[in-house]
Amino acid sequence: MIIVDLSQVEKHYRGVHALQQLDLQIQQGEILGLFGHNGAGKTTTIKLILGLIKPSQGEVRVFDKNPAGSHAYQIRRQLGFLQENVSFYQQMTGLEVLNYFAKLKGCTARQPRDLLAQVGLEQAADRRVKTYSKGMCQRLGLAQALLGAPKLLLLDEPTVGLDPLATRDFYSSIDALKQAGSTIVLCSHLLAGVEKVIDRALILKQGRALAAGSLSELRQQADLPVNIELQG
């Protein structure tokens, strides 16, 4: 079942063509990697799916509805979002942070503790966020994004600034979500750690879809600008 459908989408910001003629379908249960260098249009794509911005032309459908239209709130509740370098109230513990967001989302009381365990932070649940490493903060951000059991998880450069060990830990949580059948869009300009979890990749260059397919298919295309990383 297709849960995200972008059709001939254009997004212009005052003379900048952030996206051009973009077609993108995301199937339920797949992990899509959205790759491209800085400015390629990855965040713009995520914002369109979240309904934070509207396309200049073309159509965006999420769960068969316009995410920036009258059903925006209903759709937004089914989406989990994590951005790069997320930060939380430093004086609160990890559990307090999650409890706070759980109340806003109307989740069950049990969910925050379960989610902390799911991302490997159960031992740090009662420690203040100021004592967390960057990797732990990103995993807390992942737990927050998972509150309310979203049907689609959008991760925008989630491992930027993390060391290889923290990146590996983060992607092992993503791998567990994959095994549980989650649908995830993962934006990155790096392939390190991502190869094992993604089913399909879309490469953006200057707002256009340059290539799409499995990583093994894309590795055959020597002319791709990210091919050096793909080979790596």
Q: Which is nearer to ligand ATP, 151 or 189 (CB)?
A: 189
Of 162-191, which residues contact ligand ATP (CB under 6 A)?
Answer: 189
Applying CB under 6 A, which part among 37-45, 85-93, 173-181, 220-228 lies near ligand ATP?
Answer: 37-45
Q: Which of 232, 230, 183 is nearest to 29 (CA)?
A: 183
Across the beta sheet with 57-62, the strand order is 16-27, 2-13, 57-62
Q: Which is nearer to ligand ATP, 13 or 89 (CB)?
A: 13
Candidate list 6, 22, 31, 43; residue touching ligand ATP; CB under 6 A: 43
Task: Kindly state the tokens that stand for 12.
Answer: 């212009």
> By CB under 6 A, is residue 44 in contact with ligand ATP?
yes
Q: Which is nearer to ligand ATP, 9 or 147 (CB)?
A: 9
Question: What residue type is 93 in one-letter code?
Answer: T
> By CB under 6 A, is residue 15 in contact with ligand ATP?
no
Candidate list 38, 70, 91, 216; residue touching ligand ATP; CB under 6 A: 38
> By CB under 6 A, is residue 13 in contact with ligand ATP?
yes
226, 212 Cβ separation under 8 angstroms: no
147, 172 Cβ separation under 8 angstroms: no
> By CB under 6 A, is residue 51 in contact with ligand ATP?
no
Candidate list 24, 32, 33, 41; residue touching ligand ATP; CB under 6 A: 41
CA atoms within 13 A on the CB side of 106: 3
Applying CB under 6 A, which part among 41-49, 99-107, 173-181, 194-202 lies near ligand ATP?
Answer: 41-49
Least Å from the CB of residue 208 to ligand ATP: 11
Phi, psi for residue 67 in degrees, rounded to 5: -70, -15
Question: What residue type is 10 in one-letter code?
Answer: E
81, 45 Cβ separation under 8 angstroms: no
**E strand intervals along 28-178:** 31-35, 57-62, 79-82, 152-156
Least Å from the CB of residue 35 to ligand ATP: 9
Q: Which is nearer to ligand ATP, 10 or 96 (CB)?
A: 10
Q: In the beta sheet, which residues pair with residue 2?
A: 27
Contact residues for ligand ATP (CB under 6 A)? Answer: 13, 16, 18, 36, 38-44, 189
